[in-house]
Amino acid sequence: MRGKSLPFATIAAVFGFASMANAANVTSINPQSIILALQNAGYKAIMSKTDSGDPLIETASDGNTIMIVMTDCIEHKACPTTEFVGIWDCSESLEKCKQVAHSFNNEEGPVHVIMSDDGKTATTYSYLLYDDIGISEALFIKNLITFNYYNNKFTSDVAKK
């Protein structure tokens, strides 16, 4: 998988989750808070930038790379939106990827799929919106786990005969 920032996305479902003791809130306005939340939960967190210069964090779950892209930024800072992004090579299964993407996009789930490159690339994505206060680390990780669940579901649905 490779990371890209995409202009389209859907708001992720927000799940109620109690705050962790002594944990700071997570907000994409402060990307370091995302890195800390990931590391506190045992995930890797590698900070870089998108081609346009906005913050990007690479992490992984279940062997899949997940890009966390800060978007709607003002001068590449103060980004009120985060995209969870997974990118899949569909060149070996064009029709199945398109079929599964169509199914995902017609569900009420928090994760959707964009097909690009003549159907050779599938991008799973989900949005999280923030304010200055942010959300608890536990809720952030719950949203990551939810994205990962659907990300894995996309892969397994494509693999089904």
User: In DSSP terms, which residues pair with 27 in a beta bridge?
Assistant: 30
Residue 12 has pLDDT above 90, yes or no: no
Gap between the Cα atoms of 149 and 161, Å rounded = 20
Q: Which helix (H) or strand (E) holds 84?
A: strand 81-89
Residue 50 has pLDDT above 50, yes or no: yes
pLDDT tens for residues 29-43? 899 999 999 999 999
pLDDT tens for residues 14-28? 233 333 334 689 998
Gap between the Cα atoms of 142 and 157, Å rounded = 22
Question: Given this model, what pLDDT does residue 78 score?
Answer: 85
> What distance separates the 2 farthest-apart alpha carbons in the chain?
48
Question: Given this model, what pLDDT does residue 46 score?
Answer: 96
In the 8-state DSSP scheme, what is residue 149? H
CATH architecture of 31-159: 2-Layer Sandwich (3.30)
Residue 44 has pLDDT above 90, yes or no: yes
Residue 64 has pLDDT above 60, yes or no: yes
CA 63 to chain centre: 15
pLDDT tens for residues 69-99? 999 999 988 899 999 999 999 999 999 999 9
Gap between the Cα atoms of 3 and 138, Å rounded = 24
Q: Which helix (H) or strand (E) holds 41?
A: none
Question: Given this model, what pLDDT does residue 23 score?
Answer: 60
Mean pLDDT value of segment 127-150: 93
- Residues 142, 145, 151, 153, CA torsion sign: negative
Planar angle of CA 114, 105, 66, nearest 5 degrees: 50
Which has the closest alpha carbon to 69: 160, 61, 80? 80
Question: Rounded to two decimals, what is the model's pTM?
Answer: 0.81
User: In DSSP terms, which residues pair with 54 in a beta bridge?
Assistant: none
Cβ neighbours around 161 below 10 Å, total:
3
Cβ neighbours around 38 below 10 Å, total:
24
Percent of the chain with pLDDT over 90: 70
Average pLDDT, the chain: 85
